[in-house]
Amino acid sequence: MEELDLTDRKIIYALDFDSRMPLSQLAKKVGISKQVAKYRIENLVKRGVIKGFYTDINASKLGLEIYMVYFKFHKMTPEIEKKFIQHMCSQESVGVNISVNGKWDYTIDLWAQSIMHFKRQYQKIMKDYEKYVKSKQVIIETDFYYFKPKPILDIKSDEQITMTGDIEKVAIDNIDKKILSQLAKNSRIPLVELAKIVKLTPNAVKERIKMLEKNGIILGYRIFLNYQLLGFLHYRVFLHLENVEEVEKKIIQFLKYYKTCVSITKTIGYCELEFRAICENVDEFYRLMEELRNKFSDYIKEYESIIYSKMHDVWNYFPFSD
């Protein structure tokens, strides 16, 4: 388990939501020199605490929907599982690949234009592996609420990135797509390097990024933390609710201020709400669920949870070739 001192924790907290922040700005926020800030970030990456830097991109603004698929496997050997993971990590339109423990063994998210597009993509991707699927669950994600990594600094905060709204395709050209593709893989890519890739001047790229932000396509710049390496348990909880419209906002308000909650998702197809919680131990998770159930006992019919065991690759919110 990796240990972090207060300076490392402040760097991580400052960078999340704004991981493109210049070193000079970060240094001022944390109270260190620019050189120390650079060294610290590089060291956090080297140690595997930060696995990468990615960009929150709003799928609905691109005319896309996100489908989460949960798998329970059977007859899958370790060798086949290894090939399956490599296969999933190489697939265009798949942005998240996670091994989990609990009711399911693995989960992916798949970006698609419609339910029929999803079906075609899924069948293509799973052609050689469907025989190993004992059962699966497809969930459509509709609204997202992302929060700062509050457990890192042990503080409460209501800062959030919201990804919501109807499908509304904003017109972007191939250069914008290339910019999004690069930022999705590495939000800290230098402007000069990005400009070379898209064959524009740095100022022209900067203006395009500003427009993508203004149009709500780029929502924020994140860090991909290895919570497991820091000793945290990473839970995903599925809430089955009644009187959804009446209670949904109340549960979101409750969770957004809760220290351990790092994201909430509205969904269709299996449950009504999902959320991720980063807990120091099982007892902390049980206390959260006990408080949640007691507060909303008239509305929570049932809940289930899984634990993320390994995240394969950095999350990619623009999983398409450029």
Tell me if 105 is assigned to some domain.
yes
Asked whether residue 35 falls in the same domain as residue 75, the answer is no
State whether 251 and 274 are in the same domain. Answer: yes
CATH, residue 13? 1.10.10.10
Same domain, 75 and 116: yes
Q: Are residues 67 and 142 in the same domain?
A: yes
State whether 266 and 129 are in the same domain.
Answer: yes
Total number of domains constituting the chain: 2
Per-residue pLDDT of 256-306, as tens digits, reads 999 999 999 999 999 999 999 999 999 999 999 999 999 999 999 999 999
**What CATH number does residue 247 fall under?**
3.30.70.100
Over the stretch 225-270, which tens digit does the pLDDT of each residue have? 999 999 999 999 999 999 888 899 999 999 999 999 999 999 999 9
Is residue 186 in a domain?
no
Helices (H), the chain: 6-15, 23-30, 34-46, 78-89, 115-126, 150-153, 174-185, 191-198, 202-214, 244-256, 282-295
Residue 190 Cα distances to 19, 80, 216, angstroms: 12, 38, 22
Assigned token pair, 321: 């070739």
Predicted confidence band at 101 (pLDDT cuts at 50, 70, 90)?
A: very high
Range of the domain at 5: 1-47
74 and 104 assigned to the same domain: yes
- Let me know if residue 181 belongs to a domain: no
Q: Establish if 179 belongs to a structural domain.
A: no
Same structural domain, 128 and 69:
yes
What is the pTM (predicted TM-score) of this model?
0.93
Same domain, 13 and 140: no
